[in-house]
Structure 1
């Protein structure tokens, strides 16, 4: 069942006169007749010309909007100077109401163009269907600016212009939830390495569980890749790295490690390099983003360590890759555990808890319960120490100076961090990142 209808009048606003009003009135009448049992939300998208006021644009359409009682509270006119701005505003309205099934009514010659905008600004969470807006070809007041035939691929130049328009609009948006904040460890020498752990502030993602500096896009979430790219651009600008030389692990919740410069595995949770200016990153939204640095051999790494990866030894696999590939000495490698879910909040089924109990009984609290509390950080530290990493070269929440602590519990700090455990399936993601300075 259609939850929302988007009427695209963007290319038809050169002359907002009686022809357009009649066209809109007829379209709304058809929607009302077809939706007597369930009235959808209706958004009318039109162009706000340079220097005009939104109120004036809406008043021009008022005669066509009168009389639709069932749609009255569900109808909104969205005026903007670009299609990107108008469509992004409509997306915000859809997300506020958790709507996903949308019918788009638009001129035939706008369809291919609109699909490109939708592909950039929406994810697979949304379902779109398209219906032609009947425009009389001899109507002088309804001029359509696009000349592509339906079903024909847009020229690459036009697609690049659309992407640029969207990027420029997103760059113009204000940061949400305050300034961008980066947590840094005093263990990693900042004269050799650039590194940090992100928090949730300073980006443009607006959905509550994703706001605001979400750094991961997925087909199951509502934040599109282009928004995540803008958040990353802002992070790179604040941190001082090149977003075009940025490599994030391809999460598999296992222990494979990618060696930069060699054949990239299909999936991996660890990544290492000795190349300058290349930024490595590991995500976390409860799982631990782990950073590795060897100031002697000037090599670094990042790993994503959830409970499965912890048990499979992903952190030591990353260390071993640095040793074998770059000749690192185990005693020189520094390891920092980033924000992650703490033993105060994280629970696993008893069968999984047994594996952590075998590492160290202190990794499990209320062991005899059906869902004991688990300390994946302690397990990670123990496995690293057993592998040869010096205890003083590991930073986590066991350090005594709390002002230096960066291993906060993500579930306990909703103002600072994302948490899958706390927020459910539509959760945001922070990262740990590291690179060798030029």
Structure 2
């Protein structure tokens, strides 16, 4: 069932402008008459001319809008200078109300154009149906779910202009929830490496569980890739790395490691490089983003270590890749565990907890319960030390000076970090990143 209707009057062709009131009136009448109660939310998108709060196009719409009292609280006119700005505003309204099924009524000539905006600004969470503005007052047409047709492919130049317009608009948006904060470890020498762990502030993601510097997009979340890309651009500017030479692990919750410069696997939870100026990163939203640095051989690595990856030894697999590929001595490698869910909050079913108990009984609290508390950080340290990493070359929450602690519990600090455990399936993601300076 259609949850929202978007009427696109942003750039009407001349043949329709003379009857704009009639078109809008007929369309709204159909929505009022044909939709199940309560009526869906209706957004009318029109162009605001530079330097004017209201223009003649909108003035001509007002008489048609005043007649629809039943839609009054569910009807909104969105005026913006660009299509990107108007559509982004409407996306915010949809997200506030958790709406996903949208009927778009628009001039036929605008359909292929608007589809390009939608591809960039929305994810697979949303379902769009399209209807020609001239026939939209047919009740059967309004209710029929029409799958997206491929239509004509826009010229590459037009698609590039749309992408540029979206990017410029997103760059103009203010940061939310304060400025960017980057956590750094004194264990990694900053004269050789650039590194850090992002937090959740300083980006433009506005959905509560993703707000504000979310750094991961998926088909199941409402943050599209363009928003994540803008958040990454802001992080890169603050940290000093190039977002165009940025590589994030393709997580599989396993122990595969990608050696940069070789064939890239379909999925991997560790990545290593000795290339200067290339930034590698691992995500975390309870799982541990782990950074590795060898100041002697000038090589580095990043790993994503959840409970499965920890048990499979992804951290030592990353260390071993640095040793075999770059000739690193295991005793020279520094390892820093980033913000992740702590033993104060994290539970696993008893069967999984047994595996951590075998590593060390101290990795499990309340072992006899159905869901014991698990310390994946301690397990990671033990496995690293068993593999030859010096205890003093590992930074985690066991650090003596707590003012230097960056291995904070993600679930305990909702103001600083995202947490899958705390926030549920539509969670945001922070990262740990590292590169070798030129």
- What interval of TM-score do these two structures reach, taking the shorter chain for normalisation? over 0.9
How many Å separate the matches in 2 of 1:321 and 1:54?
62
Distance 1:371 1:299, change over 3 A: same
Q: Which residue is 2:335 aligned to?
A: 335
Q: Which residue is 1:50 aligned to?
A: 50
TM-score (norm 1): 0.95
Q: Shift in Å at residue 22 of structure 1? A: 1.7
Q: Which residue is 1:287 aligned to?
A: 287
Q: Which residue is 1:127 aligned to?
A: 127
How many Å separate the matches in 1 of 2:330 and 2:310?
19
How many Å separate the matches in 1 of 2:150 and 2:385?
63
Q: Which residue is 2:435 aligned to?
A: 435
1:62-82 deviation line (CA, Å, top 9, x unaligned): 201122122110000000000
Q: Which residue is 1:140 aligned to?
A: none
How many Å separate the matches in 2 of 1:380 and 1:434?
19
Task: Confirm or deny: 8 A CA contact 1:270 1:314 kept in the other structure.
Answer: yes
**Could you tell which deviates more after superposition, 127-136 or 104-113?**
127-136
**Structure 1 unaligned residues grouped into runs of 5+:** 137-148
**Could you tell which deviates more after superposition, 35-44 or 94-103?**
35-44
How many Å separate the matches in 2 of 1:49 and 1:14?
17
Task: Confirm or deny: 8 A CA contact 2:49 2:55 kept in the other structure.
Answer: no
Task: Confirm or deny: 8 A CA contact 1:363 1:379 kept in the other structure.
Answer: yes
Q: Trace 1:154-303 onto structure 2 (pairs within 5 A).
A: 154-303=154-303
Q: Which residue is 1:305 aligned to?
A: 305
1:293-330 deviation line (CA, Å, top 9, x unaligned): 00000000000000000000000000000000000000
Task: Confirm or deny: 8 A CA contact 2:46 2:58 kept in the other structure.
Answer: no
Q: Shift in Å at residue 150 of structure 1? A: 8.5
Q: Shift in Å at residue 363 of structure 1? A: 0.4
How many Å separate the matches in 2 of 1:343 and 1:36?
50
Q: Shift in Å at residue 348 of structure 1? A: 0.5
1:216-257 deviation line (CA, Å, top 9, x unaligned): 000000000010000000011111101010000000000000
Q: Which residue is 1:152 aligned to?
A: 152
Task: Confirm or deny: 8 A CA contact 1:255 1:309 kept in the other structure.
Answer: yes
Q: Shift in Å at residue 269 of structure 1? A: 0.1
Q: Shift in Å at residue 55 of structure 1? A: 8.1
How many Å separate the matches in 2 of 1:431 and 1:12?
44
Distance 1:15 1:152, change over 3 A: closer
How many Å separate the matches in 2 of 1:15 and 1:332?
73
How many Å separate the matches in 1 of 2:425 and 2:65?
38
TM-score (norm 2): 0.95
How many Å separate the matches in 2 of 1:348 and 1:104?
45
Q: Which residue is 1:318 aligned to?
A: 318
What do you get for the CA RMSD once the two structures are aligned? 1.7
Task: Confirm or deny: 8 A CA contact 1:195 1:433 kept in the other structure.
Answer: yes
Distance 1:150 1:393, change over 3 A: closer
Task: Confirm or deny: 8 A CA contact 1:17 1:60 kept in the other structure.
Answer: no
3-state SS of 1:203 partner:
coil
3-state SS of 1:5 partner:
strand
How many Å separate the matches in 1 of 2:246 and 2:268?
15
How many Å separate the matches in 1 of 2:195 and 2:15?
54
How many Å separate the matches in 1 of 2:36 and 2:306?
49
Distance 1:131 1:237, change over 3 A: same
How many Å separate the matches in 2 of 1:336 and 1:165?
40
Task: Confirm or deny: 8 A CA contact 2:251 2:269 kept in the other structure.
Answer: yes
Q: Which residue is 1:27 aligned to?
A: 27
Distance 1:395 1:14, change over 3 A: farther
**Is residue 63 of structure 1 aligned with residue 88 of structure 2?**
no
Distance 1:54 1:212, change over 3 A: farther
3-state SS of 1:134 partner:
helix
Q: Shift in Å at residue 19 of structure 1? A: 2.1
**Structure 2 unaligned residues grouped into runs of 5+:** 137-148
Q: Shift in Å at residue 52 of structure 1? A: 1.2
How many Å separate the matches in 2 of 1:328 and 1:17?
70
**Is residue 394 of structure 1 aligned with residue 366 of structure 2?**
no
Q: Shift in Å at residue 16 of structure 1? A: 11
How many Å separate the matches in 2 of 1:16 and 1:199?
49
Task: Confirm or deny: 8 A CA contact 1:201 1:416 kept in the other structure.
Answer: yes
3-state SS of 1:229 partner:
helix
